[in-house]
């Protein structure tokens, strides 16, 4: 990750560690089911769109955005409006590898 603040491992975040028994959060069976399954993300996007309006047409960018939201909801629950948390680097990397940017750039993503 570009900054030290963002370069966190899943074991360093209590809310993520609560989901783990051992290993990395990306190896947890719930991670794939909740964060990178396209059908789940499609359904989550429809709910998001209903409440907040549409996202960009770029399918991978939209899937990354929704996957990050899914991960936060899974680990933290509902945070409230404009409340942000840092997602562990392993989860961000896995989501980015699954839904790569067309130009390879992930600025503000």
Indicate the pTM of the whole model: 0.87
Measured from the Cβ of residue 89, the count of other Cβ atoms closer than 10 Å reads 15
Q: What is the pLDDT of residue 82?
A: 87
Q: What is the pLDDT of residue 8?
A: 84
pLDDT tens digits, one per residue of 45-98: 999 999 999 988 899 999 999 999 999 999 999 898 889 999 999 999 999 999
Of 34, 6, 25, 36, the C-alpha closest to 96 is 36
**Residues of the chain with pLDDT > 70: what percent?**
91
Task: Label residue 5 by pLDDT band (50, 70, 90).
Answer: low
């Amino acid at each position: 990750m570009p900054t030290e603040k963002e370069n966190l491992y899943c074991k360093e975040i209590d809310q993520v560690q609560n989901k783990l028994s051992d290993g990395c959060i990306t190896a947890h069976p719930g991670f794939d089911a909740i964060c990178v399954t396209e059908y789940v993300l499609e359904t989550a996007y429809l709910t998001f769109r209903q409440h907040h309006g549409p996202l960009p047409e770029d399918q991978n960018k939209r899937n990354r955005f929704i996957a990050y939201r899914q991960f936060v909801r899974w680990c933290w629950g509902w945070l409230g409006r404009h409340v942000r948390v840092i997602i562990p680097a392993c989860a961000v990397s896995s989501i980015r590898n699954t839904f790569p940017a067309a130009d390879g750039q992930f600025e503000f993503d």
